[in-house]
Structure 1
């Protein structure tokens, strides 16, 4: 679902390596007693900017920025690569995608960064907060964009949305990893990740995450193993990031202090899990800090809507078989590299038939039954079609294992259903991680394994359908009524969003073809709930857009879809014009129609942007 203050002339270099500790005598630090330890302040100019780490658009598109010494990358190298990885994980930077020509840009944005660990009251693990202050900060239109990482990514996980939109126009941007991130802890050498991204042993530095248990095995992941159910506090993480941002603006511009929600517009923007986080923040914003919210493809749970864990665990069992239906024969990922049905998916149909869950005996009839089962549960054809990518890439199992562990507050050696994370070798077998692999985790990893030398193991048996036993175990945690199921349900209940204030400008943007967080389960029930409660959210259900812009360069996939980021940028443009140019906030907005990109490059007319 991935963390030094500038003066003129020589003082810049002198202070660039300093860590600044909060002081009770500094007004800029008042109200952020949630900060844990030091605040790092760094200067980023001269080919090391805020938006791309000096890579520019061409460098972001290139292979991973190298480490001179892979076993001991520098702080600057780790930061640059973390930014590049975050861009590539969210935006379509492919040659046909149009980023930088049809929409979006990656200009050089020099400035400063302030970063710290922060804690929600009662939490075991900290979350990262980071403020980027561009040198072109607009003091006449004081603007702070606050965002949360997408998925389980690290601190730069929303830079392609919030940073790309906010920094060039002179807004400061405050980020939080919302209790997720890639600060993996390795029990093999008792190391985690320090504030600067480098590896450190437990007890030698404050770590992004260290398990409460001093003895264990394998790899511990903050999102899954913190014991905090961080998703329930994503809104509070966002509001803490906003508070941190205001305090650091006081520090950056003391002659302009204080920066407050009354004199600085705070715009919350996020996508995927980050989109859910800003909607959660809108519901718990009792101090009216937020001036407006734009949420893309949000993972949001409404009082009467389905929960992610419910439809995710059902998809893990049923989608492999349903996607063998002939209607998906030409769908990307729904067939193997030779255009044939995936053998493991055929086995899934047979498994469901053997259990009596499918009544028919032929493969096509079984696929049709599985398809109808998901249709009756609310899945649309579009969601199932693009859900083929999540199924082929094993995302349902990966997400299910991590989220179940988080909801049940389990540790690395006590994950539900026998799952565990371990370092692995090139052959995919458990093995001790080498130093270079460990050193790269903070910059490269997504926040939920597998990947980057860490594997998800367990949850299998020796049957012809080895992953089904784990999938069914995860599903029983939702459908069952034992103590484990009750604990999981209690955590999921804590995720329900609360109503935002009636006068808060709020815009939800989601792709109609989203197959990971289908609109029928997320944005549509949320928007309907708000409207029933007298709110007036704007909503774009964008045709031909799906969940992963980063998948669009894949052969055959981008031909059918449009990127979602440009629609988010437009929504933010409209919100900015409303807040700063007094343009009326509309009661409704026509949804752009657009058309699929096809085999050629993206053209502006295809997006149908207003």
Structure 2
């Protein structure tokens, strides 16, 4: 395989070759120019055999196998880190088990038409990387464009793949990325200004764009992330064993407020790349004339989870007409308003609707540990009159009831316990992000570090640091409770609350986070002290910065979400966004909403809970298929109506999932499956 890593100017030769095949006379007299925010652009071409865009040379078989080994674990190469990042990120968003549909319903060997092939699914092409930054080196949002060798400029298409969760730039490789590459589209990725920006205090080291570790001083403005601290603060914090900072939580920029912008920048990067590659050479024999524009290119904003929310925000903020339509699943989207529309299921209004992520995640962080079996948490909540008295099953039932009263559906009951740890990470990370706090602030007594078997903080090993680009999901380390009543910082699950001296999984810290969300004492309902009140104001200001308007400006869009989603409840996200959009756009709206029964936020539960969960992933591809067909035809009449898709679960994990378990989105759904929007009332059938 021949691989190249070049400055982008070296691509001029490609344009020169094309110039000999045609005339400039019919081209618009517009020179291709790089966006001002782009840094140095590097490119690597993959042959589709020894290495490739989709699977990093691993193919369908390798992605399902154990993680590839590094030749030298303490010093992995950039190519090895990329390979393992693709391996880890692909598996993170899919259920890789064959009986769950991998290799038959989805996977690299399943072609764009859904046919199962004997191919390993490798995709040849070129990958381009650059930072988007304001010149300070403080943003350094990683953008990436993958152009498959099969890309046809006469039938051009671009799909966005903004990363889910807090993942790095390869976070959407197995979702929107795979669909785009299989359909011969360029894929425009962004890490959203979160990504795998790990900073370790013990050796003052950072990640570079390609994942290689460097000292902060040597990296300079090329660091993916380093916290803004004085030397004195940096030295003092380094005395705390193993503590780390990571970009999403500790950049002090609230990157979520710009997720829509970063997604649009990825699209602009893609157009620049494509016009350098396929535009003819201008008369100066150096510049290229713009050939591909939004007018002759199908562009779909897509992805899952946080990336899906980014796609919707990009469509809302698109003033240049870059995006033609949206197809996204399980979006983490936060409606600007929770009023002015009504969400109903089976004719009954939702118990709650349109709440913000930090609001409902801090609420869940109180009760899910009790549901997961923490008797100490249940007892402590009862003592503060936040839970009924009784035995453990009684307390757990009350905790579930309180979550349902706050907007979760009964469909989530089976998953509540399994989400206890996830919402803890969300609550602590987003408190820091929204409030733009420094890592040294230790908000509500929390920090991050790896831990040993006893729950005490330890330092990452050299090999763990070296591989962090590939192995970390963007929220790095365990949550440490610094204020444990015994004076020993430890993992939050072992934390002792100062208010009661009980091992209650650090309840005092999570009540503090809850106070930051609501602006009042969650136990008494009273006014917060001055310091906490100021922190709450900062957090709530950050929450307001990320709120969605609901105005898609008439762009066609398909949102898909699983009814059992326990991380991002449908009443607070997709259903509420549909209502807000109806209130804002009214009859001009072209938004469709597909709700899938038995599907949730994490497809990994498909194998773990086969009697309750089916994979949502297949519906992302179906939504993309529908949106692509609509944009190609120029008509929205072919878009499926809003509907509930009723899936069928399995008796056990040994039974293969087939199309019968995950039926298609209906072109004409049964009357009892139609989701109706009447004025500002969203009616979802039971």
- TM-score scaled by structure 2? 0.79
Give the distance between the partners of 1:252 and 1:429, measured in 2 at CA.
53
Matched, 1:318 2:320: no
Q: Is the 8 A contact 2:312 2:552 kept in 1?
A: no
* 1:325-353 deviation line (CA, Å, top 9, x unaligned): xxxxxxxxx5xxxxxxx2x2x22221112
**CA separation of 1:580 and 1:536: change in aligned 2, threshold 3 A:** closer
Residue 549 of structure 1 aligns to a residue whose secondary structure is: coil
Matched, 1:518 2:520: no
Alpha-carbon offset, residue 383 of structure 1: 2.3
Q: Is the 8 A contact 2:151 2:185 kept in 1?
A: yes
Question: Which stretch of structure 1 is more off in the superposition, 201-210 or 148-157?
Answer: 201-210
Give the distance between the partners of 1:123 and 1:78, measured in 2 at CA.
23
Alpha-carbon offset, residue 372 of structure 1: 3.0
Matched, 1:240 2:256: no
The unaligned stretches of length 5 or more in structure 1 are 1-11, 324-333, 335-341
Q: Is the 8 A contact 1:278 1:293 kept in 2?
A: yes
Alpha-carbon offset, residue 592 of structure 1: 2.3
Q: What residue in structure 1 maps to residue 679 of structure 2? A: none
Alpha-carbon offset, residue 146 of structure 1: 1.2
Q: 2:212 aligns with which of 198, 219, 239?
A: 198
Residue 336 of structure 2 aligns to a residue whose secondary structure is: coil
**CA separation of 1:120 and 1:572: change in aligned 2, threshold 3 A:** farther
**What is the 5 A alignment of 1:407-556?**
407-425=434-452, 428-450=455-477, 456-458=480-482, 460-461=484-485, 462=496, 463-480=502-519, 482-533=533-584, 534=586, 535-554=589-608
* 1:450-496 deviation line (CA, Å, top 9, x unaligned): 3xxx6645354432214211111111111225111111111101111
**CA separation of 1:430 and 1:358: change in aligned 2, threshold 3 A:** closer
Q: What residue in structure 1 maps to residue 159 of structure 2? A: 145
Q: 1:379 aligns with which of 402, 408, 414?
A: 408
**CA separation of 1:68 and 1:527: change in aligned 2, threshold 3 A:** same
Residue 153 of structure 2 aligns to a residue whose secondary structure is: coil
Q: What residue in structure 1 maps to residue 104 of structure 2? A: 101
Q: What residue in structure 1 maps to residue 671 of structure 2? A: none
Q: What residue in structure 2 maps to residue 43 of structure 1? A: 45
Q: What residue in structure 2 maps to residue 212 of structure 1? A: 228
**CA separation of 1:72 and 1:183: change in aligned 2, threshold 3 A:** same
Q: What residue in structure 1 maps to residue 114 of structure 2? A: none
**What is the 5 A alignment of 1:45-444?**
45=47, 46-106=49-109, 107-119=121-133, 124-205=138-219, 206-215=222-231, 216=234, 217=238, 218-255=243-280, 257-304=290-337, 305-321=354-370, 323=371, 342=373, 344=374, 346-391=375-420, 394-425=421-452, 428-444=455-471
Q: Is the 8 A contact 1:401 1:419 kept in 2?
A: yes
Residue 84 of structure 1 aligns to a residue whose secondary structure is: helix
Alpha-carbon offset, residue 257 of structure 1: 3.8
Q: Is the 8 A contact 1:460 1:468 kept in 2?
A: no
Give the distance between the partners of 2:230 and 2:83, measured in 1 at CA.
32
- Aligned-residue CA RMSD (Å): 2.4
Give the distance between the partners of 1:212 and 1:228, measured in 2 at CA.
11
Q: What residue in structure 2 maps to residue 563 of structure 1? A: 615
Give the distance between the partners of 1:62 and 1:177, measured in 2 at CA.
26
Q: What residue in structure 1 maps to residue 5 of structure 2? A: 17
Question: Which stretch of structure 1 is more off in the superposition, 519-528 or 378-387?
Answer: 378-387
Q: Is the 8 A contact 2:199 2:226 kept in 1?
A: yes
Q: 2:624 aligns with which of 529, 553, 572?
A: 572
**CA separation of 1:55 and 1:587: change in aligned 2, threshold 3 A:** closer
Q: Is the 8 A contact 2:166 2:475 kept in 1?
A: yes
Give the distance between the partners of 1:560 and 1:359, measured in 2 at CA.
28
Q: 1:605 aligns with which of 656, 660, 666?
A: 660
State the number of aligned residues.
569
Alpha-carbon offset, residue 362 of structure 1: 3.8
Q: Is the 8 A contact 2:98 2:104 kept in 1?
A: no
**CA separation of 1:29 and 1:386: change in aligned 2, threshold 3 A:** farther
Give the distance between the partners of 2:505 and 2:419, measured in 1 at CA.
18
Residue 218 of structure 2 aligns to a residue whose secondary structure is: coil
Alpha-carbon offset, residue 414 of structure 1: 1.6
Residue 605 of structure 1 aligns to a residue whose secondary structure is: coil
**CA separation of 1:358 and 1:594: change in aligned 2, threshold 3 A:** closer
Give the distance between the partners of 1:299 and 1:117, measured in 2 at CA.
24
**What is the 5 A alignment of 1:589-604?**
589-599=642-652, 600-604=655-659
Give the distance between the partners of 1:444 and 1:102, measured in 2 at CA.
27
